[in-house]
């Protein structure tokens, strides 16, 4: 029986490049290890922060393999590797799922194709995910992120229909709809179909509503604080957990305003001493120097001081 990833907090890891836009292997490894030492339950390779659409098939496979190898060789075999395997055709998505297994992933996370949004009716979306899940050698999760799928937003009825497939074991909701999350989490046992928040700004709320945790970009910067929030919740320290959630909410917004993927890389480079904020076009790079005096960068910097104090 296919099982979902365990509850916890996961990170859609950024992928570091050198000045030639080739993999910066040392920086990638440094990042993977800092996240693992920060207690993450798992690492999502080629989530929306991993620039999957900017990579060749070989590069996508290599990023998964490198992440798994780095974890295994440094005592973190328990940290899961989930692979983003979304593509614009059913055929290609199936191949990427096979590649993910060969490279060492435990689960796949799949976006809905969006090149032709008028043709992506509910029936066609359901057909696509079922066909790929049938072929996937790994347990399969649905990734709902309207911002990167031309506005396609799977509702709770569509996801609930897909959840009945024996190989579909969860979803990541980057749409931020807490009502959708609660409807799904209250319909399916968490050990059969896990519902994850896709952002940090409703991490705690999602857990209170029965969610399995979060898979969120801000974990790239603040893994320890996400772990602390989960610990506070588990210990019943609800007031402190809500106060920390408020801080993460401000941090989440600040990172978005700093420029998304390049902003994450710039912050990590500046505060943790590895990597440079190169991105592949058409994304726009953010120079580390521009962080000085920026109010959003200052918000994140305050949280990083708290992170480093843990």
**Residues 6 or more apart whose Cβ sits within 8 Å of residue 134:** 167
**143 given a catalytic annotation:** yes
Report the mean per-residue pLDDT for the chain: 97
What mean pLDDT is predicted for residues 176-193?
Answer: 97
What's residue 259's pLDDT?
Answer: 86
Question: What are 301's two structure tokens?
Answer: 């910097």
Of 143, 204, 265, 296, catalytic: 143
What's residue 223's pLDDT?
Answer: 98
In this prediction the pTM is: 0.97
Rounded CA gap, 286 and 250, in Å? 20
So where are the chain's domains? 8-223
Q: What is the DSSP letter of 252?
A: H
Rounded CA gap, 271 and 241, in Å? 25
Where is the binding site for pyruvate, in residues? 215
- Asked if the model's pLDDT at residue 1 lies above 90, the reply is no
Query: How much of the chain, in percent, has pLDDT values that exceed 70?
Result: 100
Superfamily grouping for domain 8-223: Aldolase class I (3.20.20.70)
What mean pLDDT is predicted for residues 142-165?
Answer: 96
Q: What 3 state SS string does the chain have?
A: CCCCCCCEEEEECCCCECCCCCECHHHHHHHHHHHHHCCCCEEEECCHHHCHHHCCHHHHHHHHHHHHHHHHHCCCCCCEEEEECCCCCHHHHHHHHHHHHHHCCCEEEEECCCCCHHHCCHHHHHHHHHHHHHHCCCCEEEEECHHHCCCCCCCHHHHHHHHCCCCEEEEEECCCCHHHHHHHHCCCCCCCCEEEECCHHHHHHHHHCCCCEEECHHHHCCHHHHHHHHHHHHCCCHHHHHHHHHHHHHHHHHHHHCCHHHHHHHHHHHHHCCCCCCCCCCCCCCCHHHHCCCHHHHHHHHHHHHHHCC
Q: How far is CA 292 from CA 203, 233, 264, 274, in A?
A: 29, 34, 15, 18
Of 172, 180, 228, 265, catalytic: 172
The 10s digit of each residue's pLDDT in 197-215 is: 999 999 999 999 999 999 9
What's residue 48's pLDDT?
Answer: 87
Where is the binding site, in residues? 215
- Asked if the model's pLDDT at residue 38 lies above 90, the reply is yes
């Amino acid at each position: 029986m296919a099982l979902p990833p365990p509850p916890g907090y996961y990170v859609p890891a950024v992928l570091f490049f050198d000045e030639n836009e080739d993999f910066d292997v040392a920086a990638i490894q440094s990042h993977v290890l800092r996240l693992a030492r920060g207690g993450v339950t798992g690492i999502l390779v080629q989530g929306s922060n991993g620039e999957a659409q900017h990579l060749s098939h070989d590069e996508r496979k290599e990023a998964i393999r490198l992440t798994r190898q780095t974890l295994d060789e440094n005592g973190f075999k328990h940290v899961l590797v989930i692979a983003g395997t979304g593509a614009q055709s059913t055929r290609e998505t199936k191949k990427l799922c096979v590649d993910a297994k060969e490279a060492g992933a435990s689960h796949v996370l799949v976006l809905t194709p969006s090149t032709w949004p008028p043709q992506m009716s509910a029936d066609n979306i359901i057909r696509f995910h079922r066909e790929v899940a049938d072929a996937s050698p790994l347990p399969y999760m649905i990734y709902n992120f309207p911002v990167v799928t031309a506005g396609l937003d799977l509702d709770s009825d569509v996801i609930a229909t897909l959840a009945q497939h024996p190989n579909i074991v969860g979803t990541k909701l980057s749409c931020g709809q807490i009502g959708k999350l609660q409807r799904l989490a209250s319909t399916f046992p968490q050990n059969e179909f896990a519902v994850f928040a896709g952002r940090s700004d409703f991490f705690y709320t999602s857990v209170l509503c029965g969610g399995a945790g979060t898979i969120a970009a801000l974990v790239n910067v603040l893994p320890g604080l996400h772990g602390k929030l989960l610990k506070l919740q588990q210990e019943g320290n609800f007031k402190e957990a809500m106060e920390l959630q408020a801080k993460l909410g401000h941090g989440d917004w600040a990172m978005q305003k700093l420029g998304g993927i390049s902003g994450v890389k710039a912050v990590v480079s500046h505060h943790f001493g590895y990597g440079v904020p190169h991105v592949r076009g058409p994304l726009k790079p953010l120079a580390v120097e521009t962080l000085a005096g920026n109010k959003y960068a200052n918000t994140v910097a305050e949280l990083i001081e708290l992170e480093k104090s843990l």
